[in-house]
Structure 1
Amino acid sequence: MYLLYTIMFLGALGIMVGCCYRLSCVAFLGPYWYLLLLDKTSWNNHSYLYGLLAFQLALLGADRYGSLDGLLRPQKRNAHVPLWNYTLLRAQIFIVYFIAGLKKLDADWVGGYSMSSLARHWLFSPFRLVLSEEMTSLLVVHGGGLVLDLSAGFLLFFDATRPIALFFVTYFHCMNSQLFSIGMFPYTMLASSGLFCHPSWPRRLCACCPRWLRRMLPSTQPPRPSPDCHYGGRRARGGLRPRQHLAAAFTLLYVLEQLFLPYSHFITQGYNNWTNGLYGYSWDMMVHSRFHQHVKITYRDGLTGEVGYLKPGVFTQSRRWKDHADMLKQYSTCLSHLLPRYNVSQPQIYFDVWVSINDRFQQRLVDPRVDLVRAPWSPWSPTPWLLPLLLELSPWRERLQELESQLDGHTDAVFIADFPGLHLENFVSEDLGNTSLRVLQGEVLVELVEQHQNRSLREGEGMQLPAGQYHKVHTVSPKPSCYMYLYVNTTALALEKNLTRLQELRERVRNGTETEPLPPELRPILGEPPPVGTAADPVVMAFLRRQRRLEEQNRRREASLAQRLHRFLRKKFYLFRRSILVFWELPKGNCPYQSGHRLRSSDRGASSDPDPWNIQVLNSVKRIRPRARPFPAWPGGLRHHLRLLPIPGGAVGASPAAPHTTAPNSREAGEAPSARLSVDTYPHPRPKALYLPA
């Protein structure tokens, strides 16, 4: 693998300086597409675009001006480039913009649901001075993105509108570089804007430089005729040659193919999910935002009938499989091949994936009753075990926003939609002292497992749920049911009160109104080290961490433009420095992330475990009541996540605490967003587990 990346690096370097251009293009193109097709989980529109541009460059004459090949081969030096070369590249960039704009005509994007939280970013602060956050999201984020994508290609093409387009496109991609972690894509698109300008702009730019500098720059003389070009008028030499006919036909067919692929989902129906089109070909990455509430993987031994649970993502580092039926099928096949090594014969794999798309209800993606190992799947036909997106519930989104706006600062809600005949098993943590369920539509049957009681609820009815117990919510209505959980984290609320008291105490000490001396365990709130032999109070430590976080946030918020630019450049410098150091150490075998290396627990942010990858097989399905202890959190995040994981006995691949916690509106199951409190601690005693080698 290191050899492939080394070849790619040398190929990219050769393309950049124009040295052995054709060979460099092949050296980059071959390994790049091999690695891209090798792992579909890393596939996206950006990586696909890089592969397309590399393919085009391998066919174009991009080594005519300012290249090392031009210095060695005079017939190429400062020669004309055929117009179809520019046409192909311009058409590709135009398609990226225009198809992305057409995809944004989706009702969710036009309605402002796709990126509803993006307007809170500091980049949109100037717009929020005159517009509300909701209008900034609707008009600037969604409306502005739609108009820019639809018009950018046209505005860049015409000379009269190109300066306007360059301004807005540059502003757009600079914002994207700060809003999203999408690698080099914004800078690639910025560089591609120069393709739409007159081909002589680099020559004119070099001519404006001082004379002493022009000696080190490419020639400013007019380009010379090239045998690869067809000239009209006085310079015409006969008709078009077969090679030029072939180039014109290839350009036309390539553009048509690129226009067709984003809408080819009626052919590749097996890759369709809730959104149509092959992921990575469709130029619609930002149109759909997904939030995973909970993912459960159940395995059943085909011989003994024994049931167990796997941690989502075990044996893989990918996250994308949760959203695509074809990847779920492949993942289940992989698990069926691996589990027999751990005394699971003829394994059956069942997935229960809960996800919300564009602020809709949380609902199941696939049928949890279907064994995906033996389930049919074909790239040319619809997936039968894929559950439909409940589009008829889309109008509920405004109502859900109203319900959330009516909640106080300590109450949170999770909105669930389920299909008839299915049920959700849920554990309510003891920290959630006030948890209730309310039916919004349909009819459900709530089963209190430990109390052996059932209660039927209709639309508008609700009930209090006991803390520290399991319950099941069965959908018994003929249509999908909709219900909501309302919960208050009493433990986090008590922690917040303690942190507030410490803040008030520190203020009183600083302004002299507090006359009583502080006890030794509280001295650290004044910045003093704790006395020797005094145990650190966890609440005090949480307070200090929160204060450091607040100070850092204020410092970043009040930073000047120069300071923000310095932080940005410093971040990029260390990013490139790290990449260079890793590349430099590869031949020596000193790279810390080489093949077969086991990540330390500190590398992955996990608790120390006998297994470096924290992979476990829990063969018991004994119910375990988790006891959650409060964990420090920051302002605005003192809310506990509703535990919506129906896994009674733990999971494979993580500390068994993880299956019992699911973060509302979290992108990963069991993963808490930074603005919320996570209290994932494992109950004692720990169940017996079989640790797998990494």
Structure 2
Amino acid sequence: MLHRLLFQRIDNSSLIIFRIFFGILVSLECFGAIATGWVHRNLIAPKYKFPFIDFDFLQPLPGYGMYFYFGIMGLMGLFIAVGYRYRASIITFTILWTATYLMQKTAYNNHYYLLILISGIMCFFPAERGSSLDVKRNPKLESNSMYAYIKWIVVLQLLIVYVYASIAKMYGDWLDFSTIEVLMRSRKNYWLVGEILQEKWIHKIIGSVGILFDLLIVPALLWKPTRKVAFFLSVFFHLFNSIIFQIGIFPYLSIAFSVFFFEPETIRKLFFKTKVPFMASGIVIPKNKNMVLITGAMYFTIQLLLPIRHYAFTDDVLWNEEGHRMSWRMMLRSRQGKGTFKVVDNDTKEEFIIQPKNYVSRGQERKIFAYPDFAWQFAQYLEQEFAEQHREVSVYLENSKISINRKPYKPFIDPKTNLAAEEWYHTKHHNWILPSNNHTSEN
């Protein structure tokens, strides 16, 4: 049964057209990041970029080098789309995109992480075997079939993303639709729909559909009787998200994934009318079968465990953010923070009140007060800044308070903790994050 599911040869039209869509979309993402100012705003203008902890060695290119960097990624996207030196192009893009992801997290987005996973997976797929310049250069590469496990890898990855996203929404602030209200408040001035988005009944629809869509869309696309309806609902859902939330290529990438759910004959007739259909069927066990099974099992075990790692930490992930990233917890909350950074010279006991705006961008400043890893990194940054003046200092965040989903502010970071002297742990709770059940609050 497992062999038939994974190692049957099937038509590869879905993989070929997905490669084309994928290449075009990532190219638009990269060139768009330059055109919209995203690259300048996050990778050029800030003095300190707040990279993922332990990845400080990954630094943006100096000057305007990151424009060149993103230009190369955009070019790789075009090469992927036309199938020009596909293997080298997809590997190059994956490495460059992963490095970009790790260089900064102020503009963190779960979709950027998904792009790492998909491009990484595509490195191992024979997506250049049709409608590509590689085939024109070497006709022996051409093939009209692929192993069925290629389809199921994509389907399972999407199932994990959507189901975890649905489960994450099943918490109080989403279920009473207050999170939706907060999200929609910033869309009040949208042309034509801004006022409608403030209606309570709209919040209920968006909140309910958000849970049900994420939970059911993959099964509905897999089941033939509901496939077409699910596809059109998916198109509407993702276009709505694109217009309202402006989240880059992800909605269109999600629509592109639909090609793996339709019959190969349907995809071939739509996109490759002159392509020779794959008629043969049967199981062909590859020589590397064991490696495929072991690698796949290891990969998906990680994908299943990583999003629930926050249960290993003390307190709620909604509060402490420990284990939030790479867990498909998308658009779940709004965080605001405030406080005062105090630096104390360990020798002279001289005190300095730090204004973060003098060191970081406005977007980074908001993160510093609301997210514990940002606060810790800023403390490390301040320690280094003073070390350059030959001062050994301690760094404290006093009067630290955060508000989640516009609720009353509550104390967040222990004011007696010297953050500059603390270690950061990826798999251990940080005791200087005060507990969420602290009853002291203010409006």
Q: Same fold (TM over 0.5)?
A: yes
Residue pairs, 1:125-524, within 5 angstroms? 133-137=199-203, 139-206=204-271, 219-223=274-278, 231-232=281-282, 240-267=285-312, 274-275=319-320, 278-292=323-337, 294-317=338-361, 318=364, 319-341=366-388, 345-352=391-398, 353-390=400-437, 480-484=439-443
Would the alpha carbon gap of residues 124 and 153 (structure 1) be closer, same or farther in structure 2, given more than 3 Å must change? farther
Would the alpha carbon gap of residues 64 and 271 (structure 1) be closer, same or farther in structure 2, given more than 3 Å must change? farther
Report the counterpart of residue 60 of structure 1 in structure 2.
Answer: 125
Measured after TM superposition, the shift of residue 140 of structure 1 is 0.8
CA shift digits 1:258-292 (9 cap, x unpaired)? 12110122457799571565233111121122133
Q: Is the 8 A contact 1:90 1:195 kept in 2?
A: yes
CA shift digits 1:358-408 (9 cap, x unpaired)? 232111221123221123543332111101223xxxxxxxxxxxxxxxxxx
Distance 2:143 2:427 in 1: 50
- For 1:97, the aligned partner's letter is Y
Q: Is the 8 A contact 2:401 2:411 kept in 1?
A: yes
Larger RCO (CA under 8 A, 6+ residues apart): 2
Secondary structure (helix, strand or coil) at the match of 1:96 reads helix
Q: Is the 8 A contact 1:351 1:367 kept in 2?
A: yes
Decide which structure has the larger Cα Rg and report it.
1
Unaligned runs of 5+ in 1: 207-216, 226-230, 391-418, 420-479, 485-694
Measured after TM superposition, the shift of residue 187 of structure 1 is 1.8
Measured after TM superposition, the shift of residue 50 of structure 1 is 0.4
- For 1:350, the aligned partner's letter is Y
Equivalent residue in structure 1 for 2:101, among 33, 36, 44 = 36
Distance 1:268 1:117 in 2: 27
Identity %: 26
Measured after TM superposition, the shift of residue 59 of structure 1 is 0.5
Q: Is the 8 A contact 1:7 1:27 kept in 2?
A: no
Runs of 4+ in 1 over 6 A off after TM superposition: 122-129, 268-271
Unaligned runs of 5+ in 2: 1-60
Q: Which has the higher helix share?
A: 2
Q: Is the 8 A contact 2:396 2:417 kept in 1?
A: yes
Aligned CA RMSD, in angstroms, stands at 3.0
Distance 1:241 1:118 in 2: 49
Secondary structure (helix, strand or coil) at the match of 2:417 reads coil
- For 1:325, the aligned partner's letter is P
CA shift digits 1:609-649 (9 cap, x unpaired)? xxxxxxxxxxxxxxxxxxxxxxxxxxxxxxxxxxxxxxxxx
Distance 2:252 2:198 in 1: 30
Residue pairs, 1:569-580, within 5 angstroms? none
Q: Is the 8 A contact 2:178 2:405 kept in 1?
A: yes
Measured after TM superposition, the shift of residue 135 of structure 1 is 3.1
Distance 1:218 1:164 in 2: 24
- For 1:95, the aligned partner's letter is I
- For 1:378, the aligned partner's letter is Y
Would the alpha carbon gap of residues 125 and 39 (structure 1) be closer, same or farther in structure 2, given more than 3 Å must change? closer
Residues paired across the two proteins, number: 372
- For 2:151, the aligned partner's letter is Y
Report the counterpart of residue 7 of structure 2 in structure 1.
Answer: none
Moved more, 327-336 or 44-53: 327-336
Distance 2:420 2:386 in 1: 12
Equivalent residue in structure 1 for 2:162, among 71, 94, 97 = 97
